[in-house]
Amino acid sequence: MTISRRSFLHISTLASAAIAASACRAVGREVSQRDLPASLALPTEANSSTLALLTRLLNRGGYGPRPGDLDHAAQMGFTACLENQLSPDQIDDSACEITLRNLTYYPMDITQLLAQEIRDVVIDFGMSTITRSLLSKRQLYETMVEFWTDHFNIYLRKNQHMPFLKVVDDREVIRPHALGKFRDLLWASAHSPAMLVYLDNVENIKGVPNENYAREIMELHSLGVHGGYTQQDVQELARAFTGWDVRRRGPHQGQFFFNVEQHDDGEKTILGHKFLAGQGQKDAEQVLEILVSHPSTATFIATKLVRRFVADDPPDALIQRVAQVYLSTDGDIKSMLREIFQSTEFADAPGKLKRPYGYMISAMRVMGGELGIGAIKALHNWLSLMGQPLSLWPMPNGYPDAASAWAANLLPRWNFALALLHQQIDGVQIPLDRLFEAAHTQDVSGALDAFATLTLGHPMDSQTATILNNYAGNGSLQREATRHRLNEAIALMLASPAFQWM
């Protein structure tokens, strides 16, 4: 077989990356495993209502606790824990950062990425996303990255270049602004080559306007469908965005540029504001400022945040308070989140069904899961079965955020829990022996109680305890058959409504 120079260099790069990845994963796993607690018992520093509120914060303002996280949160207290998560740069995230050092393609600029194999880049993107969700101590930040990724949804299979553009969008648009000002986030997204390609603004030229991006930036990104704009506003805004383009070739290929020759430079009227002729790129940039300052945008963003963190049917009183915070703080995301998490509506919130991605990550986190070679492909397959593979929602509105969209597809979740506890997911390891040691028990009943406090944040009710004890039996924990049944009982906890609705 003849191997070209390019193929040889590609194989050499992959080999070097594999060696580096194994080393980084090993070090990262060692750092992470140091955080495993000596006991699975519930914290004694807080009462049951405080523990319930902290458990809700960890599950909704993050992807659920890893072993020991609830105890750490109880020692901090609710307010300090929340403020800690609102200041991610102050959180030591060594284990996650060490593990991410093995990423080969994610850090590349767009000109480098465009020369790579799509499959390799997609795997790196998945590794970056899932590793951060699973291992990062900056959980609220990672949750907001997912929230804004849905809000500014980009379909990974739009065309052959989209995976490369999406990596840059994740790195330079979503992550830098996930806990900042909404103004900066909308501005960055509007200049994102990935977004301009996905919503066809690269086809929006003088004389032949394409309205797709103009419509979606108002309907889905800012004002909302009932935000007070008209079809005439869409048409005029499309004219304002003519010439917002992406370079197709040359040393700046894949980067944003303003194509002055394709810009409609005539007078425009948008949302009641008149724009004089001859303003060029400033047309659309001034509209962006109008959009972020609009009361409808405040209400729309507040509604989506309250729906995500409080209830599928978001309470109107809280929406109005969060919208007012948006307007009074110039769209400060941290301030809106603080209002939500400190509200009585959050404290009294009904159960909320975890979406597939959140369920998968929370199940692995609560069991102290780690990622190895092959994990990303295996986990992507599970996410596909559950219905939420990364960045593969084809419509621009992002994955839905209500139980009605997910409650009819629960069987893959149950199967995932069983595969996880039986260590049958390629590349995913959970430290079961270490966790059993931390349970400090030699009998099945004690082990079930310990794992219930770990997975659910509270003891089992008597009916559930009876069912699981009868299922697991009374054999010795040293017997393989007993441990097998016990693992399945723990998987049933992860598949239970008590774990999925939190």
Q: Per the confidence metrics, is the pTM higher than 0.85?
A: yes
Q: How far is it, in rounded angstroms, from Cα 183 to Cα 177? A: 9
Whose CA is closest to 154, among 492, 396, 359?
A: 396
Q: Which residue numbers in the chain have pLDDT < 50?
A: 1-21, 23, 27, 31
Predicted pLDDT at 33: 56
- Listed in sequence order, the residues at least 6 apart from 223 whose beta carbon sits closer than 8 Å to its beta carbon are 229, 291, 294, 296, 297, 300
Backbone CA torsion sign across 75, 78, 83, 85: positive
Predicted pLDDT at 8: 33
Q: How far is it, in rounded angstroms, from Cα 216 to Cα 204? A: 14
Q: How far is it, in rounded angstroms, from Cα 330 to Cα 339? A: 15
H helix intervals, 157-203: 162-169, 175-177, 182-190, 193-198
Three-state secondary-structure class, residue 245: strand
Question: Which residues are paired to 244 by β-bridges?
Answer: 258
Predicted pLDDT at 20: 45
CA distances (Å), 403 to each of 61, 153, 226, 408, 447, in order?
17, 19, 23, 9, 32
Predicted pLDDT at 16: 44
Q: How far is it, in rounded angstroms, from Cα 278 to Cα 260? A: 11
Whose CA is closest to 229, among 247, 246, 243, 211?
A: 211
